[in-house]
Amino acid sequence: MPAAGYRLDRLWLRSLRTVDLSIHLLLDPLRLMASLPQALALLGAWRPQAIFTTGGYVAIPVLAAAAVLRIPSLLWEGNLVAGRSVRATARLASAIAVSFDETRARLPGRPYVTGTPIRSFAGIERAAARTRLDVPADVPCVLVFGGSQGVRRLNDAVNAALAALVEKYAVVHVCGETGLGEARALRESLPGQLQRRYAPFAYLTTAMTDALVAADLLVGRAGSSTLAEATALGLPLIVVPYPHAGAHQLANARRLAEAGAARIIPDEQFDGPALLEAAAVLDDPDALAEMQRASRSFARPGAADAVAELLVALAERRPLPDSAAIEQIARASP
């Protein structure tokens, strides 16, 4: 953030997830206590009109300080199962927003269902997106994306199944920096006419919008942002939930799977044959159409506007909109 010209002030608090026996078991409670007056001092100096937080342990002293200083705050939770820090601090927030309707029962008050804010896909045409990625337009496209970092489990499955995949589909593969060398070597090993059907990238930043619009099927993890962007485009999903961090991703994925928008493959079972079997949904037009319909039913493309509406209302000390109005904003295309 400083490199982009934004001021960044860090609290002394760090993640409280330490479970091993170390000096941090003693220091973490001290850091938490020290961060409370630090947050009070920072907020007292800034005097913000409102605070927006996505939870996490750093939010504990911030929300506590905001409550003391009577600064309104909006707490947003993207996972279906709220994290421990969110549950611990939810009563300190002036308003709460969530991505899943089921989350509301686990939090105090009546949280708003806004969905997860996503990037805009306005004006991005499918044919143009495929051209920019150099992906052929005459075959279905599978996007394999493990999150902000390359995921070894997904990379290994693509590597094992690639020769068979490109016989029928194009594959856009976000493999991370460590997986790029192997992915490029595999591409070179393909028959010349099939090499163009495999597009590996270490990362995709602004071009991620093109990859999502170009895809017919998304294979990846079940983070809140990934699911929100896929459903905004009506993309069917093959989800390999991250097995750690309280299995939050599994709960997210199950909700979409129950509705028919996603199919779940456990992390330990995801390999080349599993990927090939999952991708075969592209060969079944009726099943694919049903998954697309179910995916769109979850879409809240206006989530960012809905969150902003709540936050600005808090900042201006206006009465908060009712839930129906926020739902209408969230469901609308920005």
Q: What are 111-152's pLDDT values in tens digits?
A: 999 999 999 999 999 999 999 999 999 999 999 998 654 488
The reported pLDDT for the residue numbered 85 is 83
The verdict on 229 and 167 lying in the same domain is: yes
pLDDT of residue 149: 47
Same-domain status, 106 and 133: no
Closest Cα partner for 17 from 105, 113, 84? 84
Please check whether residue 121 lies inside any domain of the structure. no
Q: Is the pLDDT of residue 15 over 90?
A: no
CA atoms within 13 A on the CB side of 227: 31
278 plus 147 within the same structural domain: yes
Please answer whether residues 183 and 175 qualify as being in contact, where contact means their C-beta atoms are separated by less than 8 angstroms: yes
Per-residue pLDDT, 27: 78
Tokens of 322: 């009712």
Mean pLDDT, range 39-68, rounded to an integer: 94
| Statement to judge: residues 179 and 310 lie in one domain | no
Q: Are residues 286 and 307 in the same domain?
A: no
Q: Are residues 84 and 136 in the same domain?
A: no
* Residues 222 and 276 both lie in one domain: yes
Q: Does residue 288 lie within any of the structural domains?
A: yes
Q: Give the mean model confidence (pLDDT) for residues 102-119.
A: 94
CATH code, domain carrying 243: 3.40.50.2000
Residues 136 and 185 in one domain: yes
Q: Do 292 and 308 fall within a single domain?
A: no
Chain position carrying tokens 């091993």: 20
Residue 218 domain-assigned (yes or no): yes
Between CA 188 and CA 239 the distance in angstroms is 28
Contacts of residue 210, Cβ cutoff 8 Å, sequence gap at least 6? 124, 129, 130, 132, 133, 204
Token reading at 288:
């694919």
pTM of the model: 0.88
Task: Find all residues with CB under 8 Å of 17, minimum gap 6, and list them.
Answer: 57
Q: Is residue 241 part of a domain?
A: yes
Confidence class for position 248, pLDDT limits 50, 70, 90: confident
Q: What is the pLDDT of residues 83-101, one digit of tens each?
A: 888 988 899 999 999 999 9
Instruction: Judge if 130 and 258 occupy the same domain.
Output: yes
Whether residue 318 lies inside any domain: the answer is yes
Provide the domain limits for residue 257. 126-297
Residue 14 in domain = yes
Say how far apart CA 156 and CA 179 lie, in whole Å.
9
On whether residue 321 sits in a domain, the answer given is yes
Shared-domain flag, residues 192 and 156: yes
Distance CA 334, CA 329 (A): 9
Q: Name residue 41's amino acid.
A: A
pLDDT of residue 24: 64
E-strand ranges in the chain read: 51-53, 73-77, 95-98, 112-113, 141-145, 170-174, 198-201, 217-220, 237-239, 262-264
- Evaluate whether residue 282 is within a structural domain: yes
Both 227 and 186 in one domain: the answer is yes
Split into its structural domains, the chain has a count of 2
pLDDT at residue 245, rounded to an integer: 60
